[in-house]
Amino acid sequence: MFLQTKVFIPHPESDWSAPANSDSGSAAAGRYLVQGLATGHDRAYGAVLSFKLRGGRVVDLDILIPRSGRILEIVSVPDAIEAVKLQGPSDTEQVLDLSIELRRLTWVEYRLRQLRRAVPVFFRQPVERRLRAGFRVRTLITDLDYAYGVACRFRANAYMRSYADWYAEFYRIAPEDRQAMRRRLAKWSSPPQFQIVVLARNGRESASVLYHAGLDKQIYPHFTAEVWPENGWIPRLVAASRSAHAIAPGASKSPGDKWVIILREGNRLAEAALYWLAHVIDGSQGADVVYADHDEIGVDGRLCDPAFKPDWSPELLRATNYMGDAFTWRLRDVTGFWDSAEAQRYSVNGALHSLLLALAAEGREPVHVPAPLWHIRHDNRSADPTDGEETREIVQAHLAAHGVTACVAASGPHRCRVRYALPDALPLVSIIIPTRDGLEHLQRCIESLMTLTSYPRYEIIVVDNQSVVPETLKYLGEIARASNVRVLPFDEAFNYSKINNYAVAQSNGELVCLLNNDTEVISPDWLDEMVGRLLQEGVGAVGAKLLYGNDTVQHGGDTVGPGGCANHLHSGIGRDDPGYCGRALVAQDLSAVTAACLLTKKSVYQALDGLNEVQLTVAFNDVDYCLRVREAGYRVVWTPHALLYHHESVTRGKDTSPDQIARARAEVEYMRTRWAHLMHHDPFYNPNLNYQHPDFGLSGMPNVQFPWSMI
């Protein structure tokens, strides 16, 4: 053993560990395979393994410490190793048991191992990232040491925990980027014009306010900027919207139209922000609102707390201003559709939320730029619980103005809950529950449905898929006597899709609820909530929030791509935890929801031929159905306000036999092929986020195309 020690993370700069056999000559100058094991950590992260050589020189090696703790690297040292140090991320405090062994390598072995690391990493990187790092195909031949070092850094950076470092790695503007932007700008025939308004507090001097807004660093030159006082800015905005530069109602739109940005004092635009926005505007086919991601400027001046947002979600904007300040809009006369007098009562955040709701309702759907183009000062978005009341007022007024009957309640800072009114003639809901024995769970499911559900118009259809236990058969006979319960036999091999399609064909309801037999109703208004949302214009399916028995989240909606195929969002967090950017507590549009509890319109279900009985007999049929719902032009909505327990897959069990494993693999492959265009960009899971696991962590390789790309 070369080294065995305890390591304290973060490691003090001066704390080196001496090798156990430093006098034996085994750590002399040469090329080494570094094999080690680190235990005591709870997640993967990037670290730096440093070797102090005789004479004081230090050789640093970027390494990845995976969850397994296994370390396998190579290093070339020109002198004997006197000490070793492991430095982890600064935001981690852990004590690791570290053991390291060194094995000398021949020149050929060393080069082969370099290639094994560098080549796969090379081909997994976006081209822009490789070029910015000077990592080209020829580098693998002419400077393999450099290529290996870059590959190690890229690999370790996949688990960087400091957002500021992550931002510098992926969004720092290099000199060649500026050159590329200027070349493209020279060819732009009708560039969009920006009117930037910086809202100043307490009569601050204009020059100082503009300087701190980052406007002097903008590469894009086609903008004007002025400072308005934060008090009284709305009347000036209304006057500007009536100006000669604004788009008149019904007038045609032009790429060179003027666009407005409201920038609060202390907030800053990224260097490439205006260029990126202009590029998107130029290619957006007449959009009226473009919004971007943002992060915060911490008290120490470093960037932190990014908000990587989903693409356009009307339901989410009715629950919270998820776009924040980070948007621009085509200058137009707003007096016909925005109540500016009412907006003057609100905070700046509230007024912007009100404006966004009005703009989105009047024009084309907003376009999202998945890049952190706004840097928001940390105190420019308070967490005052009363802000939820302001959000409630704004959303209630917006819904009333557009003829949507609903009751809106504040549900926390900057968020609210919309309860859509149900029609006088309530639609019948057919609740379909497949089952095979599992009496304990089925009985709990049925009894919770019948005793807790407040929605009055529903029928229950239990589909018995070859139950054999006498107690189960007896119970099925008993519940079939109820006037609103039917038991349908399905005497074929288990095929979840076929079972549900069979039952839907025999259902009487206008709406269909697919429900697992291992669910349990918690909130009496669960079905009222889901029906209310499904009956809104353009909605085709609605899903619920499902909890494990220990009150942690099992299902917060589904995402497509992260984790390899389709996975639940926010799985494992606490029942009332806000989740990423508060999204676990608010209704929103998503790509898919689970059929463990899914409400849809029977007409839509049948028009789309229901669940896929052929390729998706067991898994992913619900995700596939939701994606086809969206493909047909409908929206899929998830709500946290319909709450049930879900004891997952109790009846069916796990896939263990060779046939089951082969079937599961085939289903995954079908999904990856059928929905390949979504696997790397779910519109509701930002491409800057981790696609290895749907945990909302930072991506080690953001799938974002830079508009000034040299490719």
What's the CA gap between 700 and 472, in Å, rounded?
A: 50
pLDDT for position 524: 98
As a three-state string, the secondary structure of 646-686 is: ECCCCCCCCCCCHHHHHHHHHHHHHHHHHCHHHCCCCCCCC
**pLDDT tens digits, one per residue of 361-419:** 987 899 999 999 999 998 876 655 568 999 999 999 999 999 999 999 999 999 999 99
According to DSSP, residue 697 is labeled: P
What's the CA gap between 566 and 401, in Å, rounded?
A: 38
pLDDT for position 90: 60
Where is 275: in which H helix or E strand? helix 273-282
Burial class of residue 221, CB neighbours in 10 A (0-12, 13-18, 19+): exposed
pLDDT for position 92: 58
pLDDT for position 24: 45
pLDDT for position 207: 73
| CB 651 within 8 Å of CB 438 | yes
**pLDDT tens digits, one per residue of 469-510:** 999 999 999 999 999 999 999 999 999 999 999 999 999 999
- Residues in the chain where the model's pLDDT stays below 70: 1-3, 5-14, 20-26, 42-43, 89-94, 157-161, 203-205, 244-255, 381-386, 649-656, 710-711
pLDDT for position 51: 87
* Cross-strand partners of 408: 418
* CB atoms closer than 10 angstroms to residue 634: 18
Locate all alpha helices (DSSP H) within 538-675, ordered by sequence.
602-607, 621-631, 658-674
What's the CA gap between 674 and 464, in Å, rounded?
A: 31
Question: Which two three-digit tokens encode residue 434?
Answer: 């497949």
Question: Which two three-digit tokens encode residue 683?
Answer: 């519109």
Question: Which two three-digit tokens encode residue 241?
Answer: 């919207």
Give the dihedral sign, CA 298/303/306/308.
positive
What's the CA gap between 555 and 571, in Å, rounded?
A: 6
Taking only Cα atoms into account, the Rg of the chain, rounded to an integer number of angstroms, comes to: 29
pLDDT for position 651: 46
* Cross-strand partners of 33: 74, 103
Counting runs of H as helices and runs of E as strands, what totals does the chain give?
Answer: 20, 29
> All domains of the chain, ordered by start, with CATH?
6-167 (2.60.120.1380), 191-382 (3.90.550.10), 429-678 (3.90.550.60)
* Cross-strand partners of 223: 194
> DSSP secondary structure string, 177-246?
HHHHHHHHHTT-SS--EEEEEEEESTT--HHHHHHTTTGGG-S---EEEEEEESTTHHHHHHHHHTSTTS
According to DSSP, residue 594 is labeled: -
pLDDT for position 383: 53
What's the CA gap between 557 and 559, in Å, rounded?
A: 7
In the chain, % helix, strand, coil (3-state, to 5) comes to 30, 30, 40
Q: Record the pTM.
A: 0.85
